[in-house]
Amino acid sequence: MMGIIRDKNTNRENFVFYADRIIRLLVEEGLNHLPVVETTILTPTGQEYQGVEFQGRICGVSIIRAGESMEQGLRDVCRSVRIGKILIQRDEETALPKLYYSKFPPDIATRYCLLLDPALATGGSAMKAIEVLIDHGVPEERILFVNLICCPEGITAVTDKFPAIKVVTAEIDGGLNEKKYIVPGLGDFGCRYYGTD
Ligand code: URA
């Protein structure tokens, strides 16, 4: 599936279809990393089964725009999940990532947060988004950054600054090119998913 979405000849319909399948797998994997408590279940055969149960609460936070493509995958797995949003863009004057908009569930500080952005490139927007979540009271160790593709530069930048966060990804690529695209990569995820230039 990663081969299909990386292929420059893949049309938009297939790109969206396979990206959605990967996103669903990533969300399921992300949920596997949340803490659980042991619980005893009685099955219809009258036998006990030692299971586990998730006791916390989660929410999604998508980084606009590409991160919004991952919201449905989260909803498919967690019915009625709350989803916050963050818009970060490069400040024209300073060239640094700047927060333009954010909206979160009011009790976000008590939830595990799945931060959604398909590509971890330089880590600039991810670090800004994590900073905003921490400012809203979310402990670093309750943030799970979910992406489809990343590179060593981004992973190092994010985990050096926030060592307690977890990153769940589908593939780690070689690095970044001069335009800060991940290589070999898949191009601009948002443009390919939404069919824009
Ligand atoms: N965002 C993308 O969509 N692709 C990259 O390669 C880097 C950032």
What residues have CB less than 8 Å from 104, skipping those under 6 apart? Answer: 59, 61, 84, 133, 136
What is the position in ligand 1's atom list of the atom closest to the CA of 118? 3
Please tell me the predicted confidence (pLDDT) of residue 184.
98
Q: Is the beta carbon of 188 within 6 A of some atom in ligand 1?
A: yes
Report, as ranges of residue numbers, the positions in the chain whose pLDDT lies below 50: none
**Tens of pLDDT along 70-95?**
999 999 999 999 999 999 998 888 88
Cα torsion 122, 125, 128, 134 to 10°: value is -100
Cα torsion 87, 90, 92, 96 to 10°: value is 120
Whole-prediction pTM = 0.96
**Other C-beta atoms within 10 Å of 180: how many?**
12
ipTM greater than cut 0.90: yes
Please tell me the predicted confidence (pLDDT) of residue 117.
98
CA of 118 to the centre of ligand 1 (A): 8
* Smallest CA separation from ligand 1 atom 5, residue: 181
